[in-house]
Amino acid sequence: MTFSFEANLAGAQLPNPILSASGCAGSGKELSQFFPLNEIGAIVTKSIMVKPRSGRATPRMAETPSGMLNSIGLQGPGVDYFLENDIPWLAEQGARTFVSIAGETVEDYAVLARRMRNLPGVVGIEVNISCPNVENRGMVFSCNPDTARAAIEAVRRNIGGDLPIIAKLSPDVTDIVSIAREVAHAGADGVALINTLLGMVIDTNSMLPKLAQRTGGLSGPAIRPVAVRAVYQVHSALPHLPILGMGGISTGRDAFEFILAGASAISVGTATFGNPQALITVRDELSSLLIERGFSSLQDAIGHAHREITE
Amino acid sequence: MTFSFEANLAGAQLPNPILSASGCAGSGKELSQFFPLNEIGAIVTKSIMVKPRSGRATPRMAETPSGMLNSIGLQGPGVDYFLENDIPWLAEQGARTFVSIAGETVEDYAVLARRMRNLPGVVGIEVNISCPNVENRGMVFSCNPDTARAAIEAVRRNIGGDLPIIAKLSPDVTDIVSIAREVAHAGADGVALINTLLGMVIDTNSMLPKLAQRTGGLSGPAIRPVAVRAVYQVHSALPHLPILGMGGISTGRDAFEFILAGASAISVGTATFGNPQALITVRDELSSLLIERGFSSLQDAIGHAHREITE
Amino acid sequence: MSSINAKAQQISAELVSNKKVGSYHHMVFSVGDLAFQAKPGNFVAIAVGGPSSSMVLRRAFAIYRATESGPHGGLLELVVAPHGQGSKWLTGLAPHTSVDMVAPLGTHFGIPTEPVRALLVGGGYGSAPLFGLAELLKNRGCRVDMVLGASTASKIYAPLEGKRSVSSLTLTTDDGSAGIQGQITEVLPRLIEENEIEIIYSCGPMGMLAAITEVSKRYGIVHQCAVEESMACGIGVCMTCVLPVTGDDGVIRMLRSCIDGPVMDGEQVIWDSNRRIPEGTFGA
Amino acid sequence: MSSINAKAQQISAELVSNKKVGSYHHMVFSVGDLAFQAKPGNFVAIAVGGPSSSMVLRRAFAIYRATESGPHGGLLELVVAPHGQGSKWLTGLAPHTSVDMVAPLGTHFGIPTEPVRALLVGGGYGSAPLFGLAELLKNRGCRVDMVLGASTASKIYAPLEGKRSVSSLTLTTDDGSAGIQGQITEVLPRLIEENEIEIIYSCGPMGMLAAITEVSKRYGIVHQCAVEESMACGIGVCMTCVLPVTGDDGVIRMLRSCIDGPVMDGEQVIWDSNRRIPEGTFGA
Ligand SMILES: Cc1cc2nc3c(=O)[nH]c(=O)nc-3n(C[C@H](O)[C@H](O)[C@H](O)COP(=O)(O)OP(=O)(O)OC[C@H]3O[C@@H](n4cnc5c(N)ncnc54)[C@H](O)[C@@H]3O)c2cc1C
Ligand SMILES: Cc1cc2nc3c(=O)[nH]c(=O)nc-3n(C[C@H](O)[C@H](O)[C@H](O)COP(=O)(O)OP(=O)(O)OC[C@H]3O[C@@H](n4cnc5c(N)ncnc54)[C@H](O)[C@@H]3O)c2cc1C
Ligand SMILES: Cc1cc2nc3c(=O)[nH]c(=O)nc-3n(C[C@H](O)[C@H](O)[C@H](O)COP(=O)(O)O)c2cc1C
Ligand SMILES: Cc1cc2nc3c(=O)[nH]c(=O)nc-3n(C[C@H](O)[C@H](O)[C@H](O)COP(=O)(O)O)c2cc1C
Ligand code: FES
Ligand code: FES
pLDDT tens by residue, D244-283: 999 999 999 999 999 999 999 999 999 988 889 999 999 9
Whose alpha carbon is nearest atom 23 of ligand 4?
B247
The residues, ordered by sequence, that sit 6+ positions from A38 with a Cβ below 8 Å of its Cβ are A93, A94, A95, A96
Q: Which residue of A174, A209, A309 is in closest CB contact with B174? A: A174
Alpha-carbon gap: A85 to the closest alpha carbon of chain B (Å): 37
Query: C134: which DSSP letter?
Result: H
Q: Which CATH number fits domain C117-273: 3.10.510.20, 3.40.50.720, 3.40.50.80, 2.40.33.10?
A: 3.40.50.80
Catalytic (active site) residue A143: no
Q: Report the C-alpha gap between D245 and D255 in whole angstroms.
A: 6
Q: Choose between B311 and D187: higher pLDDT.
A: D187
Q: Is A79 exposed, middle or buried (0-12, 13-18, 19+ CB in 10 A)?
A: buried
Task: Return the pLDDT at A160.
Answer: 84
Q: Does B228 touch chain A (CB under 8 A)?
A: yes
Whole-prediction pTM value? 0.97
Average pLDDT over residues C138-167: 92
| D237: nearest CB among A31, A68, A250 | A31
Confidence band for A155, pLDDT divided at 50, 70 and 90: very high
pLDDT at C172 over 50: yes
Within a 10 A sphere around the Cβ of C14, how many other Cβ atoms?
17
Residue of B58, B81, B208, B213 to mutate when probing chain C, most C C-beta within 10 A: B58
DSSP-derived 3-state class of residue B86: helix
What are the tens digits of pLDDT across the range C72-117? 789 999 999 999 999 999 999 999 999 999 999 999 999 999 999 9
Burial code (b: 16+ CB inside 10 Å, e: under 16) for B79-113 equals: beebeeebbebbeebebbbbbbbbbbbbebbbbbb
Please report the beta strands in D194-256, taking only residues with DSSP state E, as ranges in sequence order.
199-203, 222-226, 242-246, 252-256
Q: Cβ–Cβ contacts within 10 Å for residue D124, how many?
A: 21
Is the minimum distance from the CB of A199 to ligand 3 under 6 angstroms? no
Query: What fold is seen in the domain D3-105?
Result: Elongation Factor Tu (Ef-tu); domain 3 (2.40.30)
pLDDT in tens, B239-281: 999 999 999 999 999 999 999 999 999 999 999 999 999 999 9
pLDDT (0 to 100) of residue C97: 95
Catalytic residue among A12, A101, A131, A234: A131
* % residues pLDDT > 70 (chain A): 99
Exposed (0-12), middle (13-18) or buried (19+): which is A224, by Cβ within 10 Å? buried
Ligand 5, atom 3: nearest CA belongs to which residue?
C236
Domains (ranges, CATH) in chain A? 7-54+74-198+219-310 (3.20.20.70)
Which secondary structure element, helix H or strand E, spans residue B90, and what is its range?
helix B87-92
Verify whether the Cβ–Cβ distance D233 to A273 is below 8 Å.
Answer: yes
Chains touching C by CB (3 or more pairs below 8 Å): A, B, D
Residue of D nearest to C86 (CA): D52
Task: State ipTM.
Answer: 0.97
Residue with more model confidence, A310 or A42: A42
Q: Do A270 and D47 touch (CB under 8 A)?
A: no
* Among B66, B63, B74, residue whose Cα is nearest residue B211: B63
pLDDT tens by residue, C204-228:
999 999 999 999 999 999 999 999 9
Residues in chain D closer than 8 A to C89 (CB atoms): 51-52
Which one of C18, C23, C87 would you pick to mutate in the ligand 1 pocket, going by the greatest count of ligand atoms within 8 A of its CB? C87
pLDDT band at residue A311 under the 50/70/90 scheme: very low
Neighbours of D274 (CB within 10 A): 12
Q: What percent of chain B has pLDDT over 70?
A: 99
Nearest CA in chain D to B309: D275
- D117-273 has the same fold as D3-105: no
At A309, the pLDDT band (50, 70, 90 cuts) reads low
- Residues 6 or more apart whose CB falls under 8 angstroms from that of A136 comprise A144, A147
The residues lining ligand 6, judged by C-beta closer than 6 Å to any ligand atom, are D 231-234, 236-241, 256, 258
Is C275 close to A309, i.e. CB distance below 8 A? yes
Domains of chain D by residue range: 3-105, 117-273
- Asked if pLDDT for residue D158 goes beyond 70, the answer is yes
Q: Which atom of ligand 2 is nearest to the CA of D261?
A: 1
Residue pLDDT, tens place only, B56-70: 999 999 999 999 999
CA distance D214 to chain B (A): 20
Instruction: Specify the pLDDT at position B160.
Output: 84
